[in-house]
Structure 1
Amino acid sequence: MEIGRRLGGLGASARSAVAASGSWMVARMSAYPGPVAVPVGEPWEFSVGALIARHPRVPKALAKPLGALDGLGSVRIGPEGLGFDGEDDVPWEKIVHIRLHNGVTAVAAHSIEAESERLRALLPPLPGRRWALGKIAGGLKTLVAKLRERSARRRDENGSEENGSEENGSEENGPDVACEFVTRGLLGRERTVRACMYTTAFLALRPDVSNALVETARAAGVPVLGSYGTEEMAGGTP
């Protein structure tokens, strides 16, 4: 499948090469404290920029500019609203619905090369910039490889018979994640907000965070739709 080719673009040698530089970021993402309560009672936030800024090798001059990377990968969940990737939080009452997508296919819809270009454009030319760019890019590649491995493991556990066909069981064994929402603005005009690749991959890695987002939305009366547009029942996903 095309999804398999895109996520599988990392060969065995490439995966092992990026693992050393990217494993730190993935390990920190995995261990990052999730929301204390579900639904969320206090504002909670994750940011790729803040995560990298905590690395012991980040120069002091670069720590503050890394905050610009919130526009590349961040999620904020609170009792008042939701925000992705550095945009202003949207009040729950202005969100029409949340939509779930399969985590593996949602990540595959993005381009690692395009994300790397956005990263270079966001980070100013300061001491340590090249190191930070390599660390973040390596982290994304390692994260994509980890998600693909999880998908393959789920496929092996489920078996092709349960999925009905080889195609259905090949690349879609990741968790459903809440990486898109529709908001209503001025004059009732609707706008779709989709999480970027880093945020989507983080939510796929951390289904507990995606679940907290979903349950907080439901508590605020916001419908949660599955990937086919039908409303998901509470407890059904991710």
Structure 2
Amino acid sequence: MGRGEWAGGLGRLVGVAAELGEAGRQAVLRGGRSAAGGRWALAALGSVAAPAVPATEPWKLSLGTLIGRHPRTPAVAHKLLGLLDGYGAVHLGPAKVGFDGEEVEWDKVVELRTRNAFEVLTTSALEQDVDRIREFLPPVPGRKWAVTKAGEALATVVLAALERGSVDQRLDELTVPAQIVYRGLLGRPRTLDAGCFAAATLVIVGQAGASLIATARQRGIPVRPADAATEEERAAHVAVLRERTDAVARLLSRIEQSEPEQVEASAATPQVSLDKAPIDEPAGGPGPEPHPAG
């Protein structure tokens, strides 16, 4: 990606982050500088319009969404993108909601729970997700490329969220809608938990979290807030946040050092602008319509 393309992508990202205020804009910029190799993921994230508050149309942001917007995604890799939803996705709409590839009807949701962002964004959970991606994708052409880019996107988005907290010291005070309690088979309560990517996305794209909460309240679904951190806990977390940031930066560096397999020229898609790149494209069909602006 050339300097002009990167600047344009970052500009779009800043435009989306403007809704979060000056602190949010500065945090995303800092995250972008720390994750130089994964900057394409931040540019792709900024090119996705946020959902309406409350939700009026189906909306999804996932690892597959970001990789599908990479300007050099091979055609063969598009068949793998839908498989990545289980390792990072936020699903939201007027009829359904969910995390990481699993959606439930709002009519079955009985409670939405928020969690402290500090508790959700852990390096151990991130490393587990990266390992699971490596193990899960089938050995087909384009697999190594997709695995590398998925790891880059996952680590970059988490790093940007951690950077927001490690400098602004706001993750202790910030809660995200991270648990969905719903009626399962025979009416038994079940819970969907947001993974690292989903939680980090809700930290950076605040309008998505606001839409999720507003949609729940519009339907009369109770939202239970997470317990607020004490002053002592916030002070102790500052050093831990920096350690997590450094650890994720090192993980991202290791991911970037792995060389994606070369894909035959005939299998690669032409380079396109992030503004016009496809959203998730399932095997055998085109991607969905562009997400509505919030």
* Contact in 1 for aligned 2:110/2:221 (Cα 8 Å): yes
Which amino acid counterpart does residue 209 of structure 2 have in structure 1? Answer: S
Partner of residue 56 from structure 2, selected from 41, 49, 72: 41
Contact 2:110 2:183 in 1 (8 A): yes
Change in 2 beyond 3 A, CA 1:64/1:90:
same
Answer yes or no: is the 8 Å Cα contact 1:101–1:177 preserved in 2. Answer: yes
Match of 1:30 in 2: 46
2:187 is aligned to: 188
Aligned counterparts of 2:65 and 2:32: Cα–Cα separation in 1:
26
Query: Conserved in 1, the CA contact under 8 Å of 2:111 and 2:181?
Result: yes
Separation in 1, partners of 2:105, 2:138: 32
Greater than 6 Å deviation, 4+ residue runs: 15-18
Residues 44 and 69 in structure 2, CA contact (< 8 A), matched pair in contact too: no
1:180 and 1:121 map into 2 onto residues whose CA distance is 26
Q: Percent identity?
A: 40
1:153–1:145 Cα change, 3 Å: same
Q: Does the residue aligned with 1:111 lie in a helix, a strand or coil? A: helix
* Other-structure match for 1:54: 69
Partner of 2:13: none
Contact kept, 8 Å, 1:69 with 1:122, in 2: the verdict is no
Show the counterpart of 2:238: none
Deviations 1:59-96 (A, max 9, x none): 11111222111111112211112121112x31222111
Match of 1:234 in 2: none
Shift of 1:109: 7.1
- 1:232 is matched with which residue? none
Equivalent position of 1:141 in the other structure: 155
**Structure 2 Cα separation of the partners of residues 116 and 132 of structure 1:** 12
Unaligned 5+ residue runs, structure 1? Answer: 1-14, 156-168, 230-238
AA partner of residue 132 (structure 1): A
Q: What is the RMSD computed on CA atoms of the aligned residues?
A: 2.4
The count of residues paired between Structure 1 and Structure 2 equals: 198
Taking structure 2 as the reference length, the TM-score comes to 0.61
Asked whether the equivalents of residues 65 and 123 of structure 1 are also in contact (C-alpha less than 8 Å), the reply is: yes
- How far is 1:178 from its partner? 0.8
Distance 1:216 1:17 in 2: 34
Distance 1:75 1:17 in 2: 25
- Verify the 8 A CA contact 1:22 1:140 in the aligned structure 2: no
Is there any run of 5+ residues in structure 2 with no aligned partner, and where? 1-30, 229-294
Q: Is the 8 A contact 1:96 1:223 kept in 2?
A: yes
Greater shift in the superposed pair: 125-134 or 95-104: 125-134
Confirm or deny: 8 A CA contact 1:40 1:78 kept in the other structure: yes
Q: Distance in 2 between matches of 1:32 and 1:143?
A: 14
CA distance, structure 2, for counterparts of residue 111 and residue 42 of structure 1: 31
Report SS of the residue matched to 1:56: coil
Structure holding more helix per residue:
2
* Aligned-pair CA distance for 1:113: 1.9
What is the distance in 2 between the residues matched to 1:123 and 1:18? 28
Query: TM-score under structure 1 normalisation?
Result: 0.75
- Per the TM alignment, residue 25 of structure 1 is displaced from its structure 2 partner at its CA by 0.7
